[in-house]
Each structure stands twice: as structure tokens, then as C-alpha cells.
Amino acid sequence: MVKENNTLFVIFGGSGDLAHRKLYPALFQLYLKGSLNEHFAVIGTARRPWSHEFFRAGVLENLSDGTVEQRETFVEHFYYQSHDVKDSAHYVALKRLIDELDAKYQINGNRLFYMAMAPALFGTIADHLRSERLLSTGGYNRLIIEKPFGHDYESALALNNAIVGTFDQDQVFRIDHYLGKEMVQNIPFIRFANPFLDAVWNRDYIDNIQITLAESLGVEERGGYYETAGALRDMVQNHIMQIIAMLAFPRPTKYADQEINQAKSQVFASLPVYTPAEVATKFVRGQYGQDIAGKQVAYRDEDKIEPTSTVETFVAGEVDLNLPQWQGVPFYVRTGKRLPTKKTRIDVVFKADTSQLFAAQQPVNPVLTIQVEPESGIELTLNGKEIGTSSLIEPHQSQYLLNADQQKQVPDAYERLLLEAVLGKQGNFAQWEGMAGSWHFVDAIRSAWAQEPTVDFPNYQSGTMGPKAADELLTKTGRHWIYQG
């Protein structure tokens, strides 16, 4: 029997894309599964003067699953409040609605504020929530925010300071939706629930770890935002860094939120701050050109993109953690737009046997692959013997992938993370210390690149795995990318 949670959700930016595409369907799943039942309400706020009915109709449009009756009963819990976040008077009206719904649904003061709008407005909202007394004194008050959390360390710090005047750190839930993915949450289980793997999860047995977040789409309609971000800020500072933390954090004393976050903070604290010379040898940036057939436009020809833009749509690099367990083990990371397929995977490359036991034969590096998406599962590549009478070594591969039925049971990242926020579980949310550490790491790379403004872009064709230099990062050390696209 799933326990119902009493919660009032206040969504700032309730008419926006994120709210409609991700948040409302995720809340509906929680409703269908019983985590939300009778004692909840959702207030969507935005500037437009919508009625509750109009708002509900828009929410309904994005719901599939369930019966018509379930969908209609669900959206009856939705209310709309026309609200300009900069206007103090509007918070008075919002407070009135919050109090009314709290009483109507017997929510007992549990409030979850979701800032689904531009981060520049986070501070204004947080200030008003405090000054206009929208926080409850009975239940909990929690805040959920989304990326982009700043564009460098200084702006992230300012954003953080703007929020912590109203919310304590343990009330702030910073969503990184990669932390809501099934196989990313699975990483600690694979590592720590298998003692034989835990025993070799270190510099003595692991040669390198490779993380690939490949996107097949281009910049699409997000050109305006992307020109201010680039792949390093859009994907590396947050998602890739969180995955590194999941792969590298030392064994916690207990599998509980606080212990996990403490263990992860050790990884973030151990991130290097590269010198420009190190950036030049350890990081590669790229920007897509047309595809071979000339059908897809180059980044510089996309909508809202400067024709001379030097914004990177591809990054590959080496992250060296300053932790004893990981001394000398490069974490190779790679992400880009317009790569051949959409794919997130992690390849843990173990050391090869160099004992010469098998004479002239060279065993391959054993590899543990964690498939994150679109497939979810684990693959293991080991050395074995060729079938028959020979003594030749050949790689054996075994694979565990979720089947279609299992995939259907996997909750969407937003569903999972919204539930965890409702339950007050911080283990799968980005913490400020980690964010600060990854911004310092990324800022050093950006600043080195800023000193080398003339780049030979575009330097990779759409539909390929990025610039040649990304392969050379590994081949110059005798390694190669396990995933070739």
C-alpha cells in the first residue's frame, strides 16, 4: 500500500514548457500510483490571466495513461493564479489561495515551491516568499530549482545567496534530472552490493573510466540560450560531474542521504583546477558543421546563432580526481550535439593483463559498461578462450538489458525526483558544495579557452563522433574510446 503525501505544489512558471511537458505528467504518475491522492493541490502561476478551467484544459492535454475519469479528477486539484513575480501585491493574492487550498485539502502546511522559470527571477521570488509570509509555519517548506544554476562560480554563488536568505540548504532541492535516471541511481548498487566489484573499484584495477552523453539533435529552437551556455556549461558542469561523483564517491558508512552526499562532496572537493597549459592538453572543444549529405545545417547557420559563433557544441576531456583511490585514473568525458545517435553510457575500463602468461597473446582490457539510455542495463566484456582446441584468447561479452516490460516500470526522472523532494530525501539532488566545485573546474577551462579565441570551427561533421582531436586525447596514451558511435 503506497502512502499518500499531503503537499501543496506552487509552480512559478506554471504556463511554461517544463511545467507542461515534465512536471504535470510526473505529478499525474504519482497520483496514479497513490503517492498523491486526495490531500494535494497544484497552483500554477504565470503572468497571463488564465482561468482555472483554461489552465486545467492545458494540463489535461499533456496527460496520457490512466482513465478519462482519473485524469479529470486529477486536474480538479489544479488552480491557476495570475502572478507577476516582481509585483509584491500579487503575493498577497497567492497567499490567500494557498491558505484556502491548504484548508480545503487538509494539507497541514506542507509546501513545495518549484521555480520553473528563468534563474534571474529566483532571488526575487525567494525574497517575496519570505517578506510576504508565504512560508508555512506548520508543515515543511521546500524549494525545487532547475538548471542553469548560474553561468560561472560567481553567478552561482549569487544565486545561492539569493535563495539561502529564505530557505536553508536542506530545504533546497536542486534538480539534475540525470540523477533521476534508473541506471545512474543504480551505480552505487552495482558498486557496493557486489563485494568483488567494490574490491577492484580503484586505481589498482581500473585503467580509466569513460562517460559519453551523446545527443543526435542539434541546437533546435534553444539557440538563444545555447549561445550563452555551450556544451561545457550545459552538460559537463552539471550532468557529467554528477555522474563522475556517483562513480567515484568513496564507500559511505551507511546508504543514507547525508552519508551519500558527504561521500560525493569528497569527489567534488577533489576536482582539479587546470592551468591553461593543462586545458590545452586535456580538453577538446568542437562545433558541428553540416552533415556529409549537406542536409543538416551547421551550428553557425542555425536560428538565433551568430554566424561567427565560437560556442562549443562538443566537449571531450580528461578529469583527474585528486583522491588516493583514483590517483592516475583518468575519467574521460565526452558530450556533443549532432552525434550519430542519442546515447548515454559509461565504460569502466579495467587494466589489461600484462603478465605475459599467455605468451605473445595480448588480452583485451575487461570493460564494465553501464548503459543509461536509450537502453538501460549492464554489459561485461571479459577475456576467455576461443571455443575448441585452440588456446587463443578472445573477448566474451555478457549483457543484461531491461526488457520492454521492465522499461515500462522505470519512472520518469521527474516523477522520481518530485517524489523524493516530497519525501524530503536529498540523496539524489545536487548540493551547493558540489556545484561550487564543479563551477571552479569548468571556469578554469572556460577561462583558458577565452585566451584562445580563434578556433577552427566548425571542426566536426554532423553525424560523426566529434573532432579528431577527441580521439587523439586517448590514442596519445595508447587508449581508445570504447564506444565508437
Cite the active site residues: 239
Nearer CB in complex with ligand NAD: 189/225: 225
Our finding on whether 336 is near ligand NAD (CB under 6 A) is no
**Closest CB to ligand NAD belongs to which residue?**
16
Residue with smaller CB distance to ligand NAD, 118 or 158: 118
Q: Which of 340, 267, 317, 303 is nearest to 446 (CA)?
A: 317
Residue count (the chain): 485
Q: At what angle do helices 257-269 and 241-248 cross, to 10 degrees?
A: 110
CA dist., res. 229 & res. 473, Å (int): 24
Which residue number, 16 or 252, has a Cβ lying nearer to ligand NAD? 16
Residue 250 sits at the vertex; the CA angle it makes with 248 and 252, to the nearest 5 degrees, is 130
474 binds ligand NAD (CB under 6 A): no
- In this structure, what C-alpha cell is assigned to residue 150? 548560474
DSSP H or E stretch at residue 111: strand 111-115
Binding mask 423-452 vs ligand NAD (x if CB under 6 A, - otherwise)?
A: ------------------------------
Q: Does 223 bind ligand NAD (CB under 6 A)?
A: no
Choice between 115 and 465, CB closer to ligand NAD: 115
Burial (0-12, 13-18, 19+ Cβ within 10 Å), 77 = buried
Closer Cβ to ligand NAD, 13 or 317, answer by number? 13
52-91 footprint of ligand NAD as x/- string (CB under 6 A): -------------------------------xxxx-----
97 near ligand NAD, judged by CB under 6 A: no
How far is the C-alpha of 15 from the C-alpha of 126, rounded, in Å? Answer: 19
Which of 381, 439, 479 shows the shortest CA–CA distance to 155?
439
Within positions 337 to 356, which residues make up the interface with ligand NAD, using CB under 6 A?
A: none
- Residue 205, CA distances (Å) to 210, 212, 325, 326 in order: 15, 21, 10, 10
* CA neighbor of 234 nearest in space, from 250, 249, 219: 219
User: Does 42 help bind ligand NAD (rule: CB under 6 A)?
Assistant: no
User: Toward ligand NAD, which CB reaches closer, 278 or 412?
Assistant: 412
Q: Which is nearer to ligand NAD, 50 or 460 (CB)?
A: 50
Tell me which amino acid residue 122 is.
Answer: F
In whole angstroms, the minimum distance from the beta carbon of 134 to ligand NAD comes to 15
Site for ligand NAD in 102-161 (CB under 6 A): 116-119, 146-148
> How far is the C-alpha of 145 from the C-alpha of 126, rounded, in Å?
11
Question: Count of alpha carbons within 13 Å of 21, Cβ hemisphere only?
Answer: 4
Single residue of 46, 298, 316, 417 touching ligand NAD by CB under 6 A: 46
Provide the CB-side half-sphere exposure for 384 (13 A, CA). 10
Number of residues that bind ligand NAD (CB under 6 A): 22
Residue 109 or 148: which CB sits closer to ligand NAD? 148
What are the start-end ranges of the H helices in 254-412?
A: 257-269, 276-282, 404-409
Considering only residues 2 through 21, tell me which ones interact with ligand NAD, judged by CB under 6 A: 13-19, 21
Alpha-carbon dihedral angle through residues 151, 235, 170, 94, given to the nearest 10 degrees: 70
- Min. distance of Cβ 174 from ligand NAD in angstroms? 11
- C-alpha span between 68 and 161 (Å, rounded): 44
Cα–Cα nearest to 347, from 234, 448, 241, 484: 484
**Binding stretches for ligand NAD (CB under 6 A):** 13-19, 21-22, 46-47, 83-86, 116-119, 146-148
